[in-house]
Amino acid sequence: MALIVKDALIRKKEGALPAGSSGFFVSVSSVFLFGLSDGDKIIGEIKEGEETKEITLILEKEGEDSFLHISTEDWDTHFMKAGRADLKLKEVIQGEERKPLYPKKDVTTSPAIGCRIS
């Protein structure tokens, strides 16, 4: 199952970035990514309007917040021009192992709703 992040704000981060980061990221509360570590890669989809694209995000944890950096290969300024998008985060890659982010149910979060489990 997936972590669904509605209406995520895409921002640019200055300073030190994880390897492979485009410099653009979305922020999610670390509680939704419990058990994951810095550098883990998350495979998901980003949806802006009616267009959907598969992407890889690189996790960077900082206290209560987690920054999901959009990989350099997946950053597309034409696609992500609005600055907000919906994300569906499906799998995590830890070392060589791939596994579902949420094995039993979808979890939805956004600034407006907090958290909903389906």
- Per-residue pLDDT 10s for the chain (118 aa) are 899 999 888 889 888 999 999 999 999 999 999 899 999 999 999 987 788 889 999 999 988 889 999 999 988 776 666 688 899 999 999 888 999 999 889 888 876 666 666 5
Buried b (16+ CB within 10 A) or exposed e, 80-116: beeeebbbbbbebeeeeeeeebbeeeebbbeeeeeee
Q: Which residues contact 24 (CB under 8 A, 6 or more apart)?
A: 10, 11, 12, 13, 69, 70, 75, 80
42 is in which domain, residue-wise? 3-117
Task: Give the Cβ contact number of residue 67 at 10 Å.
Answer: 21
pLDDT at 71: 95
In contact, 87 and 106? CB cutoff 8 Å = no
Can you tell me the distance from the alpha carbon of 66 to that of 61, in angstroms, rounded to the nearest whole number?
4
* Residues 35, 41, 45, 46, CA torsion sign: positive
pLDDT at 91: 95
Q: For position 106, which CATH number holds?
A: 2.40.30.170
Can you tell me the distance from the alpha carbon of 67 to that of 97, in angstroms, rounded to the nearest whole number?
21
Q: How many domains is the chain partitioned into structurally? A: 1
pLDDT at 111: 67
